[in-house]
Amino acid sequence: MIFIGSDHGGLELKNEVLQYIKNELKEEIIDKGCYSKDSVDYPDIAKDVCSDVLKNNAIGILICGTGIGISIAANKIDGIRCALCSEEYSASMAKRHNNANVLALGGRTIGAELAKSIVKSFLQSQFEGGRHEKRVNKIMDLQK
């Protein structure tokens, strides 16, 4: 299961990514907002999406204007490993080596086709474990 959310700056890209995941990747995805161009605060969206990611052991996608603010907010939540990615290799490595459970994108910094490719790379990658497990555990220990 995938949870997706954006602020007003990421709304258009969110809608494109949402349809791509539903129609092309055939994955179950739940839209947590926002639903209009009215201004909303990205920390609230990050909290809503990340809460569901943690409750359901799921994946999240967050989008704001640059992806920076929403990724910072997400990474303040215990248990979240959010990676802001602007190309496919980083998206794959975020999952493979860092076991990222949330992907952040910039609605005003990347186009829809690149975003779709980044999302596909992220969703199709798997955590490799092994030597990376120890490092991910050390990252998670920093939250304590």
Is residue 50 flagged as an active site residue?
Answer: no
121-to-75, 85, 91, 93, 117 alpha-carbon distances in Å = 21, 11, 6, 9, 6
Of these residues, 34, 64, 82, 85, which one is catalytic?
64
In sequence order, what are the residues at sequence separation of 6 or more whose Cβ sits closer than 8 angstroms to the Cβ of residue 111?
none
CA dihedral 79, 104, 27, 8 (to 10 degrees): 120
Please name every residue paired with 107 in a beta bridge, in sequence order, or none if there are none. none
Is residue 64 flagged as an active site residue?
Answer: yes
Q: Which residues are catalytic?
A: 64, 97
